[in-house]
Amino acid sequence: MEQPEIAVYCEGLIKLYKTKDFEVMALQGLDLEVKTGEIMAIIGSSGSGKSTLLNILGGLDRPTAGKVSVNGQDMLTLVDKELTRYKREKAGFVWQNSSRNLIQYLTVQENIEFPMVISSTSGKKARALELLELIGLPHKRKSKINELSGGEQQRVAIAIALANNPGLILADEPTGSVDTRTTEIIMDIFYELHLLGNTVIIVTHDHAISNRVDRVAAIRDGRVSSEYIRQNFYADTLNEVSDLRGEVIESEHKEFLVIDKSGRVQLPREYIDKMGIIGGKDKVYAEFDKDKITLAKE
């Protein structure tokens, strides 16, 4: 079956959390497209909605309204049984806390085979050994989890997420608890997966990670407010400079504001502060001049 050109499509995506005392709008009409085989990062402050988006794409949470599809599958129409299968086979999730993926009393190889046991997948051993090579830990296949370093555990957690060969890899702060060297190893793994045609979405606060991808989406108040597009593709940069491995690459991204389908745009907070604009109180006027739109405070 031919893969769709767009792996992730969100339009007007809304997620509302309700409790007895209050309501929280985690996503407020979010629009996003991710191409098949793309590797991208999502950034945003705490509470901006980035982890909520990842949970919806991973089938861990259901949206309240809007449109969302993954590899052509409408996420709003999945019944519980279909959603369970989707989580097992179609989306691989990597957490900051690797213990969420790991079973302590099993060996490394048994941990990687476990998702395939649940899904009754054939060729478990061969697939596990293949993934152990990918993460650089074939010599640790018989080790127990508590015999591994934190970085090694995170690499095993990635292999577990890949066990059933999902087309979409979702990583929520995957390098938040590891050192710089392990971060480089993990990003090398994600980049190789991207080159193999997998779609990889990473939520991160780490600028070193955002420098390793070609597109970064910034979420503010539950909507994609801007995108940072790399002017020189990372793969081209690696080809031009041979000794970049292990170094933090200065960002070459250019920021573009995102205009949603209703014509709304979110201005960067630093611009608003510099103009002395008070949200909800002050007004601005817009002027069109040839190919430019100028905003000025009233």
Q: What is the arithmetic mean of pLDDT over 183-202?
A: 91
Q: pLDDT (tens digit, 9 = 90+) per residue, 98-129?
A: 778 899 999 999 999 999 999 888 889 999 99
| Highest CATH level, class, for 1-90+169-180+195-260 | alpha beta
Higher pLDDT, 50 or 256: 50
Give the lowest-confidence range in 131-135, 148-152, 198-202, 230-234. 230-234
Q: pLDDT (tens digit, 9 = 90+) per residue, 17-61?
A: 887 777 888 998 899 999 999 999 998 888 888 999 999 999 999
Q: Where do the structural domains in the chain lie, given as residue ranges?
A: 1-90+169-180+195-260, 95-165, 267-298
- The 3-class secondary structure across the chain, one letter per residue, is CCCCCEEEEEEEEEEEEECCCCEEEEEEEEEEEEECCCEEEEECCCCCCHHHHHHHHCCCCCCCEEEEEECCEECCCCCHHHHHHHHHHCEEEECCCHHHCCCCCCEHHHHHHHHHHHCCCCCHHHHHHHHHHHCCCHHHCCCEHHHCCHHHHHHHHHHHHHCCCCCEEEEECCCCCCCHHHHHHHHHHHHHHHHCCCEEEEECCCHHHHCCCCEEEEEECCEEEEEEEECCCHHHHHHHCCCCCCCCCCCCEEEEECECCCCCECCCHHHHHHHCCCCCCCCEEEEEECCEEEEEEC
